[in-house]
Each structure stands twice: as structure tokens, then as C-alpha cells.
Amino acid sequence: MKILPILAVRRLAACAAGAFAVLVSCCGGPAAAQRLPGSVVPTHYTLALTPDLKAATFSGAESIDVNIRQPTRTITLNAIEIAFQSVSIDSGGARQNGTVSLDSGKQQATFTFPAEVAAGNATLKIAYTGILNNELRGFYLSKTAKRNYAVTQFEATDARRAFPCFDEPAFKATFSVSLTIDAGDTAISNGPIATDTPGPGAGKHTVKFETTPKMSTYLVALLVGDFKCTGGSQDGVDLRVCATPDQAALEPYALDVEKYVLHYYDNYFGIHFPLKKLDLIGIPDFEAGAMENFGAITFREDALLIDPKTASISSQEEVAVVIAHEMAHQWFGDLVTMQWWDNIWLNEGFATWMENKPVAATHPEWNVPLLVASGEQDTLNLDAQPTTRAIRAKAETPAEINQLFDGIAYGKASDVLLTVENYLGEESFRKGVQAYLSAHEYANATAEDFWNAQTAASGKPVDKIMESLVAQPGVPILTIGEPAGGKVAVAQQRFFLSPSITPDPQQKWTLPVCFKTGDAAPDCELVTPTSQSLEIPRASLFFADAGGKGYYRSAYAPAQYAALMAQVESGLTPAERISLTGDEWAQVRADKATVGDYLSLVAALKADPSAEVLASAVNQAEPIADEVASTKQERDQLGDWVRRTFAPEYAKLGPPAAGEPPNTTELRAHLFSLLGYLGNDPEVLKQAREMTGKYLADPSSVDPTLARAALGIAAEHGDAALFDQLQKVYETATDPEKKEGALYLLVEFDDPALLERALEYAVSPKVRNQDTAILFAIVLQIPENRDAAWSFIKAHWDEVQHQLTTDSGSYLVDSAGSFCSAAAHGDVQHFFTEHPVSAADVALKHALEHIDECIELRRLQEPNLQKWLAGQGGL
């Protein structure tokens, strides 16, 4: 599953919706176990569902073939929001009717039968009804202006809302599904359609699907509506992209991606895609970015459907990466599934690591490995906060499980896999992956299963490395001495962004440290808890994170850092430059370097030819302006420096040219954004207004990547006429990228009256509940709009809360951590204590810590900023 963003949501506002991992941590306090007993095991489900889209209800007739391990009169499974009509069991040639008792707290139903049911095979038969809810989970309603759709989202624990089941990942079974629906509608499920017959009843038809392979309940998919599909085939598999009829013209791009990715994965994994068909379906109301249902992947519309002629480069990248992520799950997660949710990283970390490979192979011009390197910096910063967790963490209740879908499960797990792959070599790592998948097809696996397979395939201590990185929370920092005699002293400890936290001296890691050599291949040595020095290769430049793929921070001796700075452009690759700037910003946060040191490094990279290197470096300029600078004078002088430093670089690029490399296009857009947002450059502001007018009149008349940046800048300074235009785009556009992008821009306006309109609009029926929390998360991270937005949220909490779904409230709570004062800390804490938000307890801890970190950062670094600005002629 791909989760929506809360990190860098201001960039999301300017750039329209993306699909990245939610960065919150886990887990909460102790909770009562809700696991099912293992004495009854399902082997096959037969599901016959009849949804009523107008009444928002459905009926179900279900049979479950089970194996009973020991004689019993009771069987317990999962069910919630289900009204039971009858329950019986067939066993040993006899049938018994049962009674039902419900435990809503545990989301369980227990069937009790008059006589003991013998051990062996039996069949449960259940008749029931349920509701098509508006919560974007379980079996729910998705709506357009014209009609309703019935769709599903079951991960992690919501299949039980659609049919009584053994709703845990280890209880794999096969599924035979049929849907009785209106005559004009179609249905989609995991398997191909086996039969489509009229009735029962007038105006109805029944669609029966082929039986699935063994899979977990959370992977079942059920969709009903008038979906239109674009089809093709690849490697003998029928492929389709499906959407509502008004979106059908936007399907071909995704289908092309689907074809290439399937072929790539077939070859990489050495296991042919295990189903006959694979559908990708865009859904109007969908909380997550996408969901990897076996053979029927569901998406938010803007994560699947775009027009490449008018879409920005980053939008095309985002859609391709999300598709690749979900398709990777067909192997990692669907074919081989984690035993329990504590190892959800075996699904999400693998898919995040894998998603980049086919996209990079298809589009080398997009420089995808540099996007990975930048993403690792975000994850390292997340993991260096007090509220973090180990990759493998205990979770028992649905609320605890849902909070596991965070930046650790996605980002850190992916980065750890990248570190190990870099150490072993790509082909050796691939052999370990293939061995792991082959050993556990259609079954479940644990972390130990994976790293033991890698250890056996490579002959290297992958088990020790991965256990060290998976079982412990936090980020190691390596303090590296002066190289001498072919060796270098290395000390390690846990790194925190806050200098006020003292790390536990006993916490150590076993991990590979890869040194830069004169050759393409790095020289990797293993640092252990007892290591005091490492052997190093002979090289013209000493750098301890070759390729920028190591999951650690580095702190160099002064002479070595000076040597790196002197050759930052000529001696380091782009990924290594990203690693170096990330380490330097981390040192600033930890009060081991000054904000002036960092800005001097950014200035040294001002002419960097890599768009992603520049973006990664200047991404911290905004927190410096927001969190370190406390006065308008400081922010104005920082803006002066931005204009003096980067306006000449922007001018050198000139206007967009047909056929120019994507890197040039992205570089221009990054500089444009920097000069517009932080520099308030008059010429850029003028260009932004002009481009926005042209784009809204004719999207094909402006470079879409530059237009994406211009829209955000123009909105910030926009008037009521522009607000009305964007609101109309949201309400009338059929292109999801343009539609969602226009919506998110409404909270960018800094005119108080227009901001109030945007906030009122966010809680109106015009805005889908999938988007409301994102809008508030965006506006809370905009310095000029933050206070007004927070006041609105408090004053209109009933309306705001009504729009929040079960999981999306954590986006809003986390973004309340954008404040930077003790008074705000108390206010945020008090408000959410009095008005608790579902599944957001850890997000609140994270938000409060971020406020405290900002206070500390400002106290420590604002004097350094003032001194540096004075040295630039700024104060």
C-alpha cells in the first residue's frame, strides 16, 4: 500500500498530489491482544455478495471451508459492522445451526454449536448483511456527481467489514467470489471473470470470478460500477487500466508503465507473474495512494491517471513509481506475505526499494537513483527523532497496526535493503531475493527467513547486519578520524537531531561502511560494536559513503571535511553530494555545525548541474527561514542572499526549449521555486503570474514542470479572480492531476479573506473526505497561514472532524507540529488532549517533539544566522 504524504506538504501544494510514505511513528502503549486462536484454519472462501448502491447496503452468502485442529463447540473469527442472519456448520455429514456472540471491542464473532464439532474438515455457512460505509475502508461507497460505486480497501484489518473471516495475514486461503449487480454495471475482483449470467431478479446479473490462489484476506478486492478499461497484454498476462468513464482517456500512460514493469519483474524475480490478469483501477474516493490487491490494484485517481502531454516530469515519475510499488507487492506481500504485521516492512520496505528499479531502467533521464538518495536523507532525519521505532515493532490492535504504515516501514526498511544490496552487489542480492521468494511462494515469511536466505546466497554476515538494523531504533553516526597507514579510526553511537538528548553508549550496530575508490566499485568494510578502526582503500579523495547508499550519518575530521568541500563538485558523484549535504544539515541540527556553514555549502553548490543535488541542498533553506529566523528582517535578508546567489544561475538556463533534458527542465523549476518562494524575486513573481494565466487558459501552452512551480507562487500572491479560477478547475476538471493540484493550491493564498474561504471550502461537501486532512496539513506548514488555519481548526472542530476518516486525522495532527513556541506546544497538546483523534497518539507525540526541536534549533542557531548574514552584507 502506498500512503499519502505529510512530510513536505507545502511542496505537495505547489506540485499537486504525490504518493509518498506517511512519516509518523509507532507504537502506542500496551493493548489487549486481539489475535485469533490457531485451532481453526480456513482453506477456502466462497463469497456471494449483492450490493445495493442506492441504499448503501449489501447482503452476503458465504461458506468457509476450514480445518479444525481439535474438537470444539465454538469457532471465533473476525467481523465488525456485520448483521448475522444465520450460521451453520457442516461436519462429518451432519449440519448444526449455531448462535452468534459479538465482541465489538476485539472485532470478533464467536459461533457456538449445540454439539462438539469433530477435528477435521468442515464448512461454515453464513448469511449476513452489511453497510457500504463512507469511511473509505472495508466495503464502501465511492461517489461521483453522476453515481455511486462500491469498492473495497481491506488492508490492514478491514476485510472483516465485508465478510466474516479469519482476518490475519497468516490465514491464507483461496477465494471464489461472485457479485450480483445492476444490469448496466460491471464488476472487478482478483481473478478473471469465469461466468456472467442474468439474474437472479429483473435488472440484475451475476458475475462469477475464477478461484484465486492462496492469499490473505486483506488482498481481496471487490469493485462495482460502470468502469471503462483500456487493455493490453504482456508476457501472457492480460493487463487493464480501469477508471470511471470520464477518466478513460487518461489510461494509456499507466498501461504502458504496467507493461514494462511486469516484464521487468518477471525477469528480475525469476518467477512469472502468478495470475492470468492484472487490473489497475482508479477510484474517485480512496484514502491511500494505492493498494496492492492481488490481481486488482486500486489507486487514487491522481496516482494513476495522467496526460503525459500536460503532466510535469515529477507527476509522470510519481505515477510510474506508485504503479511499480504496487506491482512489486504482487511478489513481495501477495505471493509471499509477512507472518504478522510486526514484519510489515517485508511488504512495504521491499516494494519501496524495488519500485525505483524498473522506473530507472525505463527512464534513465529521470535520474531516479538521485531521488532515492534524497529520500534517504528525509528518512535519516525522521529516524533521528525521539519518537521513532525499530523496523520490526510489536502491534496487536487495529489502531497499533495502522500506525505501523509509516516512514520506518517504507523509508528506513527500503534504505536498509539498499545498504545491504550495495554491500553485497546487485546480482548477489538478487539471488538472495529469488531464493527467499521461491522458498515461500503462496505462504508466509519472517524477517529471519529473508536475511537467512541472503546470508546463504552471499556467504556474508547479512543476518548480523540486518538484525542490527531491523531490531534497533535510530540512526548510527560514524565519527571518522584522520586516515593514516591504510586505516582510519571509527567510533559509532546513536545520532539524534536534538543535542539535548544523550544517546545510550551501549547501543551499537553492525553495518557495512563503503569507501570511495578510484574505481566504480566501492570498498566496503564491516564496522561492528567492537570496531575501533577500519582498513581503507588508496584513493585520491577520502569519502566514507560511496554511492550515498549507507544507512548512517558521517562526521569527518576538520581536515577531511575541508578536502571534501574543496572537491565537492569535482570529486563526488551527485548521490555523494546529496549525502554530504544531508550530513552537514544533520550536524547543524545537532549543534555540531552552524547554519552559516550549511548555507556556505549550499552556495558552493549553486551551479551544480544536477537538479536533485540542488533541490536536496536548498530544501533546508525553507526551514532556516521558518524555524531559525524569527524576524522579518532576517527573512528578508535571507531572501536577498537567495536572489544574489541563485538568480544568475536561473538566468543562465534561459526559457524552456523543446527537446531539452529533463534534468534541465527540473533544475529550472527548482530555481524558479526557490527565487519565488524564498527570494520573492520581482521578475520571477511576474513570470509566475504570466505563466499561470497562460496555463489556465491552455495547459499545453506552458512547460508543465515550470507551470507546476509557477502556480504555487502565483497562488501565494494571488487575488480573488485567481482563487475563483482554481476553484472552478477543481470542480470541473476531469484530469485528476489538475483537479487535485488546483484544490491544494487554494490554501496557499496569503490574503486573509481568501484563506478563510479556502478553509471553509475544505470542510464543505464540495471537498472529498480523502482530501480534507491533506488541505489542513498543507496550510499548517505555511508560515504565513499557519496561525489563521489553527484558529479555524479549533473554532470549527466539529466540521473538521466530521470530514476526517479513521486514519487521515494523523496527517493534520502531525502538521500541528509546525509551530515554534512554548505557547504553541501547550496549545496543541491541550487541544488534542481534549479532542483526541483516532490513531494519532504517536503523531501527537511527534508533533510536540517537533515544536520543541524547533524552539531548540532557533535558540542555538539564530545567533549564527545573524552572524552569517552580517558577513554577507545582509545585516
Helices (H) and strands (E) in the chain, counts: 29, 28
Confirm if 353 and 389 have CB atoms less than 8 A apart.
Answer: no
Q: Cα separation of 815 and 806, whole Å?
A: 17
Nearest Cα to Cα of residue 108 among 177, 65, 157: 157
Return the H-helix or E-strand segment holding 834. Answer: helix 822-834
* Order of strands, sheet of 148-153, starting from the edge strand that comes earlier in the sequence: 138-143, 148-153, 222-225, 186-189
**Which strand (E) or helix (H) includes residue 828?**
helix 822-834
For residues 731 and 356, what is the distance between their CA atoms, to the nearest angstrom?
34
Q: Which of 445, 383, 425 is nearest to 408 (CA)?
A: 383
Q: Are 220 and 167 in contact (CB under 8 A)?
A: no
Q: Which three cell numbers stand for residue 21?
A: 510514505
What are φ and ψ of residue 529, in 5° steps?
A: -60, -20
Residue found by looking up cell 551499537 in the block: 508
Q: 677, 642, 643, 875: which is closest to 784 by C-alpha?
A: 677
CA distance 145 to 225: 14
Strands annotated E in 144-210? 148-153, 174-182, 186-189, 193-198, 204-209
Rounded to 5, what percent of the chain is helix, strand, coil? 45, 20, 35
If you write DSSP's letter for every residue of 648-699 in order, what string do you get? HHHHHH-S--TT--HHHHHHHHHHHHHHHHTS--HHHHHHHHHHHHHHHH-G
Residue type, 761: Y
Q: Which of 168, 326, 525, 666 is catalytic?
A: 326
C-alpha cell at 317: 515519475
Ramachandran quadrant class, 497 (left: phi over 0; alpha: psi -120 to 50; beta: rest): alpha
Query: Smallest Cα–Cα separation from 500: which of 596, 387, 597, 386?
Result: 386
Write a three-state SS string for 154-169.
CCCCCHHHCCCECCCC
If you search the block for the grid coordinates 492481488, which residue do you land on?
294
Is 326 in the active site?
yes
Q: Which amino acid would we find at residue 853?
A: E
Amino acid identity for residue 657 in this structure: A
Full strand arrangement of the beta sheet holding 72-78: 72-78, 108-117, 99-103
**Between the CA of residue 371 and those of 74, 82, 265, 710, what are the distances in Å?**
53, 45, 21, 22
Give the residue numbers annotated as catalytic, written as ranges: 326
